Chain A
Amino acid sequence: MAQAGYPNEEKVTGRVAVVAAGVVSPLGVGLAETVDSLLQARDCVSPVTRFSVAQCRCKTAGQVPDDRLLAGPGVGRRGRHRLHRASHMIIHALKEVLTQQPQFKPELTVIGTTSGGMSYGEHYYRSLRQAEDLRHAPTWIANYPAQKPVIDAQETFGISAPCQVIANACASGTNAIGHAFECVRSSRYQRVLAGGYDALSEMVFVGFDSLQASTPRKCCPFDRHRTGMVLGEGAAILALENLELAQKRGAPILAEIIGYGISTDNFHITQPNPSGIGPRQAMERALQSAQVAASEVDYINAHGTATVFNDAAEGKAISAVFNGVPVSSTKSMMGHSLGAAGAVEAVFCLLALQHQFLPSNINFTAADDDLDLNIVANETRPDVLHTVLSNSFGFGGTNASILMSKFQA
């Protein structure tokens, strides 16, 4: 019997191509701005402006400017103000995908998120509680559900695919891409859109602050002096297609998704098992799924939240499976975008493969003696990359890893 967590070998019938990608994050709107920010190792974390953080320890986050979002494509003046910011983010990302692949007709859309239209829920509750104007309540309520931004984006571009919205906490985006990958690889689907989104909200920001998981300082993953995460926001979408079909129709192959691993670590609802067993299983299963050796992996985009516990568990797992592979957490540049993180970081991996560089882990000052990791510290470096791994782990002990490789005919 095959092991759980990866497809049965006999059933693996198709290679899975990434034929288009779109991204919105604090690093930029679109692939071109994003790759520029990655190459410059830009720090895109700034003071929070969307709500008061006066009583929070942490005062910063990675934010997508509203003026960039609201100038978005395909949305009329009414929609511009009615739709949630998350909808605008996905619309931007999907627009970029469809600009590259106008004929891409997905049979399924799988998107990860953690908080949907949470800020509209906050407006609603606050207005009720403080007996304020509730004229906009129907709009807030209608745009609050987690599937709404996905439907908004699809509607904008006339796409009618069913939507599966995965809410596996911070692993959601990677789970969405991984599940979509398995759907295409099994040949049950030929074309699937996959990605993730999350917009900054007060409740979630305060939540992480209350757990003392977020930091009043800089986010410095894997650093000896790390003190926690900062939040971010964004959206990213990948268009996945059966490789053979994509080639037949002459679509450019940006990369291949070659493996996916998922595990559930039942240690604690907010903390990983210190042994790193959950992340380790996810990474090992991704390698088994791809049928590649750990030594073939050229770069790991780590979950790397910069919390003491996450980085310790992930670092332990990485050094148990890999030997000296370059590792970075791009959350150091833009914060943790939760349900979007896995998708945004998959796009970073795609760009790293395309442009052959190792994204930087900025704010790194000193190695943690307890971690045996080859951190890509502070500078983006050119390198030869063929296969890269992206990790995402979340509350509830959800762990997910995907493997992506440069396309070779």
Chain B
Amino acid sequence: MSLAIAGMGWVTPLGSSVDSVWDRLLHGDEASATTIAEEFGDRSYNVFRVPESVLRAAAHPRLRRASVISRFAAAAGLDALRAASVKLDPQNAEHTALIFAISNGGVIYTKRFYRDIVNEGAQSASPLLFPETVFNAPASHLAAILGISGATYTLVGDGAVGLLAIKMAEDLMVNEAIDYCLVVGTEEIDWLLCDAYRRWRLLRPAAPLEPFSKQKRGMILSEGAGAIVLARDGPFTIECAHAGGYFSKRAEATDILKRILRDLDQGEIDLVISSANGTFVDEAEYRALKTVVPNAFVYTAKPALGESVGAAAIWQVILAVQALRSAELPPVLHADPTTALRLSCSRTPVAGARRAVVLSCGLNQQAAGLRLAFR
């Protein structure tokens, strides 16, 4: 079964409309790094944050106490539905499924809630904050805003979780009673996450993020959301969502990525939207890409947009659609020009490109892929 992408919404550190973010990427723009610190932490970190103006646009009474992760998701989800010209009413809301992809979830409120417990004791815990710490809080807010009364799921995983969510959408839409599936990937950042990834040797303290570099200096975290509306017909078709699997050790990531690429490769892959982010992922993807699809153009937006973890794979799908639609790729920023991959180191035309692969190697052992076609 193949599904079509009927609409997309994008909330990123480079702005919040698909066309404008894409335009900025084509022009080689990079999000501005801001520094976050913590009163009890001895370090500060660079992150790519979503501009405040985007949050103002996502105002809704249901979101008045919600964390930014829910507001990013609502903004992206509503944009995607608008772009797909889908207006939900009580009738078609029942025939629309909602799937969220999340990795770290509502970490800001979770930290605040637990901070009060640690500092002041359990009696100080806030009953207002606790519900917002639950993984499915963002999905529940958007379902309420849209009036969705049928299937709502939140999937948790690493950077690959967005593709697993699309795979789940494919499984759900076997049921012909479901007309649309809105898939939303969303994430927010906090100092605590930066510190955790740094202790895991996956984060660099300051920009730039250098993809496919021989020295794996680490990633820069970012935040935002991506949303796609899946329907049954349309020019952009998900021909195959590959649930991949997991790798036990980082050194084994290449093998699973090769298997995914081989399964997705029909000898016609024009371009690959990679998840390279300056960590061990890059070497794993480099080896897999070089072996299986050496002639495909390769692009990663993570130097420009950062690593948005739970939102990342949906962002990659949006990038793939935009690349096929506009027949060009933005420049990969801060890349090693001597790499053997066919990186789009400058703005690169890909005229006639019809098929793209989205490859996602997560930081927590999951890997998945997806093949997209433009008819």
Contacts and interface: CB of A to CB of B under 8 A. Distances in A.
Contact of B136 (A4, A125, A183, A398): A398
B: interface residue count bin:
35 or more
A5 B365 CA distance: 32
A179 B168 contact: yes
A308 interface: no
Contacts of A183: 171
A3 interface: yes
A118 B151 CA distance: 26
A129 B155 contact: no
Interface stretch (B12-20, B174-182, B323-331): B174-182
A141 B133 CA distance: 18
Query: Which label, helix, strand, loop or mixed, suits the secondary structure of the B interface?
Result: mixed
B144 A147 contact: no
A2 interface: yes
B139 A396 contact: yes
A182 interface: yes
Given A2-B176, A164-B155, A167-B156, A126 B125 contact: no
Contacts of B177: 1-8
B269 interface: no
Interface in A112-153: 113-114, 116, 121-122, 124-126, 128-131, 134, 137-138, 141-142, 144-148, 151
A132 to B, nearest CB: 11
A53 interface: yes
B115 interface: yes
A145 B158 contact: yes
B245 A202 contact: no
A: interface residue count bin:
35 or more
B40 A129 contact: yes
B153 A168 contact: yes
Contacts of A128: 40-41, 192, 195
A254 interface: no
Given A4-B94, A53-B122, A137 B149 contact: no
Contacts of B267: none
A263 interface: yes
Nearest to B143: A264
B133 A182 contact: no
A108 B164 CA distance: 11
A396 B113 contact: no
B243 interface: yes
A395 B105 CA distance: 15
Contacts of B158: 145, 147
A394 B136 contact: yes
8 contacts: A121-B110, A129-B118, A145-B158, A146-B135, A151-B246, A166-B156, A182-B175, A397-B144
Given A129-B40, A396-B137, 8 more contacts: A4-B95, A5-B150, A141-B196, A145-B156, A160-B245, A168-B152, A206-B125, A396-B143
